[in-house]
Amino acid sequence: MSQVNLDDIEQAYLRIKSYLGDTNIVSSHILDTALNAEIYLKPEQLQRTGSFKFRGAMAAMTLLTKEQLKNGVIAFSSGNHAQGVACAAKILKTSSVIVMPSDAPEIKIKNTKSFGAKVVFYDRQKDDRELIGENIATKENRTLIKPFDSLEVIAGQGTSALEAIRSIEFQDKSFDAAIICASGGGLTAGSSIVLKKHNPYCKIYTAEPSQWNDHELSFQANKRIAITNTPHGICDALESSSPGEITFEINNKNNVKGLSVDDEAIFHAMKFAYQEFNFILEPSGAIALACLMSSRSVFEGKKVLVLLSGGNISTKEFHNYISI
């Protein structure tokens, strides 16, 4: 199977950096003291479209030919990849069709449409979104931009960790550990390539909801495990039933391990990020921080990179969650 290397990620960064928003690392004395560690938070909810997903979408789409751009793109997503692809399509002056679950958060649907995308809904309990997407791609001759199992997308997602490393290199530091949310595993895969190249001893962890911990289970079993018959939860962006084929191979090779937390820990992390930094994080976006705060003994004394992955949530829903 083809792989992604550091050069691919650096090339992706050169293609997309002029389009990226600022997601500069922040730290908290309160957090460092409480955990007895050096914590570096990368706030990707401040990225264009409100999540890291814009990176992968733009990295893949800047490689499209004129003919492909003329025919347009299609993607399937619960919301954040949807917005990333729709935004990239608008920038590159091409059309986009996005296949989204009918129960996706209204704010994600609205934002996706605001970029000019046509949204096609499906029932996540009954329908196969990949099949729907592939059928439309074939019928309309569109290029499918996959949410995670794509070498180009993985390279784009790795640019977040690349920025993080470059921001501390001048201090002659490196990360001992990193915590990264995982749905299909693209962000973790791209990040693990960068982090392991910079420090081969860096320990990398996926962060997942306890009911959707397919990465954690897969790493333990040394094979891809699928989550089945599990109800829709608060982390709508992290409900891929199993790790991607390409992403799992990369992450398993890089000795990634899994962490998972319950809803209460996620709400606590969302509330802390809001009180300390005035960050508004969706549950999926706060889960890496939640795993950190729930695993003090694992990270004590270490320099830890934590990727805050997204903030696409309505004001009402956000305040409801942090008041629980």
Cα–Cα nearest to 153, from 23, 1, 15, 264: 15
Start and end residues for every CATH 3.40.50.1100 domain found in the chain: 6-52+152-322, 54-150
Confidence category of residue 314, pLDDT binned at 50, 70, 90:
very high
Residue 300 DSSP one-character state: T
Evaluate whether 238 touches 209 at the Cβ level (below 8 Å): yes
11-42 pLDDT per residue, tens:
999 999 999 999 999 999 999 999 999 999 99
Q: What values do phi and psi take at 208, rounded to 5?
A: -145, 160
Evaluate whether 111 touches 80 at the Cβ level (below 8 Å): no
Task: Tell the CATH topology of 54-150.
Answer: Rossmann fold (3.40.50)
Reduced to 3 states (helix: H, G, I; strand: E, B; else coil), residue 293 is helix
What's the whole-number average pLDDT of the chain? Answer: 96
Residue 202 DSSP one-character state: -
Total Cβ atoms within 10 A of residue 223:
11
CA–CA dist 258, 220 (Å, integer): 8
pLDDT of residue 173: 83
Confidence category of residue 1, pLDDT binned at 50, 70, 90:
very low
Beta carbons within 8 Å of 174's beta carbon, 6+ residues apart: 165, 168, 198, 199, 202, 303
Beta carbons within 8 Å of 66's beta carbon, 6+ residues apart: none
* Token reading at 12: 């992706």
270-296 pLDDT per residue, tens:
999 999 999 999 999 999 999 999 999
76-91 pLDDT per residue, tens:
998 999 999 999 999 9
3-state helix, strand, coil in the chain (%, to 5): 50, 15, 35
Reduced to 3 states (helix: H, G, I; strand: E, B; else coil), residue 120 is strand
Residue 170 above 80 pLDDT? no
Total Cβ atoms within 10 A of residue 176:
17
pLDDT of residue 230: 86
- At residue 169's C-alpha, the angle toward residues 164 and 173, to 5°, is 100
Residue 71 vs residues 102, 118, 143, 155: alpha-carbon distances, Å: 26, 14, 8, 24
Residue 2 above 70 pLDDT? no
Question: Which class for 286: exposed (0-12), middle (13-18), buried (19 or more C-beta within 10 A)?
Answer: buried
pLDDT of residue 267: 98
Cα–Cα nearest to 43, from 323, 309, 320, 312: 309
118-152 pLDDT per residue, tens:
999 999 888 999 999 999 999 999 999 999 999 99
Which CATH number is associated with domain 6-52+152-322?
3.40.50.1100
Helix residue spans in the chain (DSSP H): 6-16, 29-35, 53-61, 66-71, 80-91, 106-114, 129-140, 151-157, 159-169, 186-198, 214-221, 245-253, 263-277, 283-293, 296-299, 315-322
Which has more confidence, 172 or 272? Answer: 272
pLDDT of residue 323: 94
CA–CA dist 30, 35 (Å, integer): 9
CB-facing half-sphere around the CA of 290: CA atoms within 13 A:
28
Sole residue written with tokens 């109800």 = 231
